[in-house]
Structure 1
């Protein structure tokens, strides 16, 4: 159960950052209304706050989150933008997932 809380926080932070960035992108690049950009900016602020809920240090949290961000970004692009990951995207994601597991969960002495 102790593994689920940090993972859930990384996913929540990812949704806030990617969702916020996506809404800002839509506002600035796809001519969406101003409230879209405002909501995106608010989500980006919430992302910064959610990231502080992790029990690990800043550096470790952001190192792991960087990998989570890449994986979630590919999934976001697939779902929302019709991007179809190829085998190299999947392989890269699997390698990143392995690395995240080592950084976050490997037993330390």
Structure 2
């Protein structure tokens, strides 16, 4: 049950952080305005709270593992939101990163 909670928190954190960064990007680079930037800042702040609810008590471990989730999630976000077409090396890199997440977070200690 703890693994499911952890995975769900990683997914929610990825949506908030990647989505927040994308909103800021859209507000600044695509000149969509302050409302987009503000929404992005709020989402980025919410990401910090979600990450704090991970069952593992070690900040460094959680954030290191989240890096792998961020890699895979960013590629997916780009595909859905911006029509990005990852190549096989992007996919391989994302799989390697997610394997790293599994090792860091869910290996027996």
The interval holding the TM-score normalised by the smaller chain is over 0.9
Q: Please give the alpha-carbon distance, in whole angstroms, between the structure 2 residues aligned to 1:19 and 1:46.
A: 11
Following the alignment from structure 1 to structure 2, what is the Cα–Cα distance between the partners of residues 40 and 2?
29
Is the CA contact (8 Å cut-off) linking 2:2 and 2:55 kept in structure 1?
no
Match of 2:89?
88
Distance between the aligned counterparts of 1:2 and 1:49, measured in 2? 18
State TM-score, norm by structure 1: 0.94
Unaligned runs of 5+ in 2: none
Aligned length in residues: 108
Q: How far has the Cα of 1:62 moved from its partner? A: 0.3
How far off its partner does 1:19 sit? 0.6
Residue 15 of structure 1 corresponds to which residue in structure 2? 15
Q: Is the 8 A contact 2:27 2:36 kept in 1?
A: yes
Taking structure 2 as the reference length, the TM-score comes to: 0.94
Q: Distance in 2 between matches of 1:83 and 1:107?
A: 37
Task: Give 1:3's aligned residue.
Answer: 3
- CA root-mean-square deviation: 0.9
CA distance in 1, matches of 2:85, 2:38: 29
SS of the aligned residue for 1:38 comes to helix
Structure 1 runs not aligned, ≥5 long: none
Question: 1:35-62 CA distances to partner (integer Å, 9 max, x unpaired)?
Answer: 1111111111101111111122100000
Please report how far the alpha carbon of residue 100 of structure 1 lies from its aligned counterpart in structure 2 after TM superposition: 1.1
